[in-house]
Amino acid sequence: MILIVVKMTVRPEYTDKWLDLVEDFTQATRDEPGNLFFEWSRSVDNPNQFVLVEGFASREAGDAHVNSTHFKTAMDEMAEAIATTPQIISTEAPGNGWSAMAELTPRNV
CA angle 70, 17, 48 (to 5 degrees): 105
Three-state secondary structure call for residue 90? strand
Question: 42-79 pLDDT, tens per residue?
Answer: 999 999 999 999 999 999 999 999 999 999 999 999 99
Confidence bin at 2 (pLDDT 50/70/90): very high
**pLDDT over 80 (residue 109):** no
Q: Which of these, 41, 42, 76, 38, lies nearest to 57 by C-alpha position?
A: 38
Question: 76-94 pLDDT, tens per residue?
Answer: 999 999 999 999 999 999 9
52 DSSP β-pair partners: 6, 40
**Nearest-angstrom CA–CA distance, 29 and 52:** 12
Q: What interhelical angle do 23-30 and 69-81 show, nearest 10?
A: 150
pLDDT attached to residue 94 = 92
